[in-house]
Copies of this chain bind each other. A is one copy, B any other.
């Protein structure tokens, strides 16, 4: 025990001063296009460093500047201030135009996650085409979540860190209007009374999937 605490003291003693740690995370965040977790940073820093504390300082330092330290899920990144976007017309990345179906599906996954395909179909009232999900997976805006503990153990979808990064969200809890929707009960999983066409459970899903014609082939 005595030894262990000695070690701890020693490692605290060895950790660089916080100002130096701030420089380190500044360099790492500047160098990376992808968000870094505090763990990623700690692994690269000298033993005993505390990137979380250094981040508090760094964040403050960049307040109101041309670039900002932003939180993306459980990671951190430096991004330019949105009000200066007009200066970066040359850096603008053309994002693939998403179909209405894909945009709606994405919104449903973001607000209802973790959500199964059947649940998405119930909300949209139409079968989800494979292409829509594939496209969102390929863009790395959604990924598979844990399976639902319901019959058939269906897979679920959740949004990714890339999604949060793209839309400038700290977490999925910061989605616009989330609180209001929840208060209005619109995010409740309200099962339909009795049986209804199209909007039922998994059986309906199968039905609609096997029904020819009506799916998202109507996408533009």
Task: Known A87-B44, A90-B44; judge A66-B24 contact (CB<8 A).
Answer: yes
A69 CB to nearest chain B CB (Å):
11
Is there an interface contact between A30 and B87, defined as CB atoms closer than 8 Å?
no
Between A23, A25, A43, the greatest number of chain B beta carbons within 10 A of the residue's beta carbon is seen for A23
Q: How many copies does the complex hold?
A: 2
Interface size on A, residues (CB 8 A): 27
- Whole-angstrom distance between the alpha carbons of A90 and B31 in the complex? 10
A86 CB to nearest chain B CB (Å):
9
A25 CB to nearest chain B CB (Å):
7
- Whole-angstrom distance between the alpha carbons of A34 and B44 in the complex? 26
Residues in chain A within 8 A of chain B (CB atoms): 22-28, 30-33, 43-45, 64-67, 78, 80-81, 84, 87-91
